[in-house]
Amino acid sequence: MPVKTLQDLLGADVSGRTVLVRSDLNVPLDENGAITDPGRIIASAPTLRALMEAGARVIVTAHLGRPSGAPDPAYSLAPVAAELGKVLGRNVQLAGDVVGQDALARAEGLTEGDVLLLENVRFDPRETSKDEAEREALAGALAELTDGGVFVSDGFGVVHRKQASVYDIAKVLPSYAGSLVATEVEVLRRLTDQPEQPYAVVLGGSKVSDKLAVIEALAPKVDTLVIGGGMCFTFLAAQGYSVGTSLLQEEMVDTCAGLLDRYADVIHLPRDIVVADAFAADAQTKTVSAEEIPDGWMGLDIGPESVARFAAVLGSARTIFWNGPMGVFEFDAFAAGTKGVAEAIIGATAKGAFSVVGGGDSAAAVRLLGLPEDGFSHISTGGGASLEYLEGKELPGLAILEA
């Protein structure tokens, strides 16, 4: 059954109707509670703006961080509401609760084109409950705020979660896929349904265990699998090399050895590493062969030879998926690897490759390093959801829209 989209909803006239939108506004904050990367807010705006301009009464539900199922000022959506208002060019009300008296009163007072953001939905323990009845109770309360309205699923970063505001709400209200979700699915289908070859995947990040399923799913299908970031050291250890004090998942060494045996012609590991004597921005650094990481030193980035080698294989790719930085890009001394690989992907894109950046850390790196966002074909808002889609898993938040 085809999924109904935002365009279907707008074509049916939403003027005066209340529309509940599940957005992904889970943005990073600094120690002072200021937003450091508004990318997800900006990506969520087109669907909200289209509904506003069509005269809908818009209620937005979203989460921030991982509060323990109770109100916590550190995870309030107050800064998100302020930033969303700037992006949309109008005031965005913030309810003081999720589905309580303040949310209900504000929802009843909405007029055409108004936007109300409910407080962090994870302040309600029913949102992430394993008990279906508890989740359905919260979904029912959310639906009551709309007084017979509709639901738009536009938080792609959470569609792999069976949660009340993502999954159960779609069983209660007529449901539609927002423009962001529809675009993300279309892009990922291009990566899975006969992608143009050569197909290259670049994986970084800290843990092999987080990426193991996607490695096993993609390695048989791609021409090149580049591995960097903290996870590369477990692969290097699997080759028998000492990795000093670098990040290492010892329990995954045998698994990595097996992957290297099976996909020796596909997997590409760093040849040189930028190591440091401490995990600090001002640490002493040097570049060494990947086979000769000194005892007491930790690898925090891939070296220039590795960047050049990876750039060479990426340069001929026609399809590229990148998830995870090559090093600790937040520190200037360890940002060159991520920047170099990103620039290689941009170069391939300029020559006609279809490139997708998946994952919050990769997207944040693009912006922090001053790289052009339009240098990539698509920057995804959902790292975990993207990976699970590529692994072939069913995503509950998408499946329920097709029900």
Residue 108: phi, psi to the nearest 5?
Answer: -70, -25
228, 326 contact by CB (below 8 A): yes
The one catalytic residue among 40, 57, 126, 309: 40
Do the annotations mark residue 122 as ligand-binding? Answer: yes
Cα separation, 147 vs 91, in Å, equals: 22
The one catalytic residue among 337, 358, 384, 397: 384
Cα separation, 47 vs 87, in Å, equals: 12
Do the annotations mark residue 260 as ligand-binding? Answer: no
Do the annotations mark residue 40 as ligand-binding? Answer: yes
Sheet strands (E) in 29-126: 57-61, 93-94, 115-117
394, 170 contact by CB (below 8 A): no
Do the annotations mark residue 65 as ligand-binding? Answer: yes
* pLDDT at 249 (0 to 100): 95
How far is the CA of 31 from the CAs of 40, 74, 75, 280, in angstroms? 19, 10, 12, 17
Do the annotations mark residue 161 as ligand-binding? Answer: yes
Cα separation, 171 vs 151, in Å, equals: 10
* pLDDT at 235 (0 to 100): 96
Q: Which two tokens stand for residue 10?
A: 């707008």
Do the annotations mark residue 109 as ligand-binding? Answer: no
Do the annotations mark residue 299 as ligand-binding? Answer: yes
Q: Which two tokens stand for residue 348?
A: 């391939």
The question of whether 57 is a catalytic residue gets the answer no
The one catalytic residue among 229, 360, 382, 383: 360
The question of whether 189 is a catalytic residue gets the answer no
The question of whether 207 is a catalytic residue gets the answer yes
Is residue 312 classed exposed, middle or buried when 0-12, 13-18 and 19+ CB atoms within 10 A define those classes? exposed
The sign of the torsion formed by the CA atoms of 126, 156, 365, 341 equals positive
Do the annotations mark residue 24 as ligand-binding? Answer: yes
pTM attached to this predicted model: 0.90
Cα separation, 19 vs 158, in Å, equals: 19
The one catalytic residue among 207, 221, 318, 367: 207
* pLDDT averaged over 10-residue windows placed end to end, the chain, 403 residues: 87 93 95 91 96 97 95 96 97 97 97 97 98 98 96 96 98 96 93 94 91 92 96 96 96 96 96 97 96 96 98 96 95 96 97 91 90 94 88 94 86
* pLDDT at 382 (0 to 100): 82
Do the annotations mark residue 330 as ligand-binding? Answer: yes
Helices (H), 147-241: 179-192, 208-218, 232-238
* pLDDT at 13 (0 to 100): 87
Do the annotations mark residue 171 as ligand-binding? Answer: no
The question of whether 384 is a catalytic residue gets the answer yes
* pLDDT at 305 (0 to 100): 98
Instruction: Indicate the DSSP class of residue 95.
Output: -
* pLDDT at 383 (0 to 100): 80
CA 314 to chain centre: 22
